[in-house]
Structure 1
Amino acid sequence: MTRFAAACAALALCAGSAWAEGKTHYLAIHVDQNDPAVMNMALNNAQNVHDYYAAQGDKVVIEMVAYGPGLAMYVEGESPVEDRISAMSLELSDISFAACGNTLAGLKKKRGTDVALISEARVVPSGVVRLMELQEQGYAYIRP
């Protein structure tokens, strides 16, 4: 086999294995309403997108960003979707939940006490800024 033929065969093998691994997609989901129907729709969207791409052999990285009234989605003991988020975070390895630090600070001030979030939520400085950053990184954006 000539060097050229060997190089072509190696290139085809590498390209084939990269193609077989599938593509990675990125999705940012925005939740800013304290409405269980909206929260469940956002979680349904995440699950449906994950299932669709998994069936295609692709991967999807999903970040759900909650701020304003939507932060209620992550408040421990108060979230109407707390159990569902817990289950989804175990089932879907590439889903994350971002909580707006600005909203959290305002809520703590309003209540006059600390506000515990569910363990799956990670605090980001600003929910709006986080959504901007994700879109700048190429994430598709949806708001249910």
Structure 2
Amino acid sequence: MQNIKIMIIRKLNLLILMSCLFFPVQCVTKINQNESNKLAIAPNDTINESYPSNIDKRLIGKWFIPHLADINITFYINGTFVYNDFNRRTEEMEVLRGTFKLEGNKLILKYSDRPHQTLNFTKGKGVDDNYYITKGKNYYFVKSDVDK
């Protein structure tokens, strides 16, 4: 009976892993041992997320341009990003990928197919506790309330 439970849990983990590979979301899976020493799968919200020391957790998630939500950047805990942008030259949407690094308030996007881009990562002024990703005064991203 115990072997069947372990086999089922392993198959569930494999299924979760496969879904993570084919769908563009971040998945967290962890097997815990509870008091009775039985294997249990912990839901995502019960797992403490640990961030690498070089990743600022305030960046992780989806950022968009207000009133142009189709243009957005999603930053992942592994230091990568996916940027859905509008290419003015081709007049089409494009998906850009790469890695990012935060140095002070400078957010550096290193694209896989073009030169890097430097943006600003700043906190709002006064009572505004929000963070913004900006380039100039008229080009800015705000963080989505929805994590994924």
**Per the shorter chain, which TM-score range?**
under 0.3
TM-score normalised per structure 1? 0.24
TM-score normalised to structure 2 length:
0.24
Q: Report which of the two has the higher share of helix.
A: 1
Q: Which has the higher strand share?
A: 2
| Larger RCO, structures 1/2 (Cα 8 Å, 6+ apart) | 1
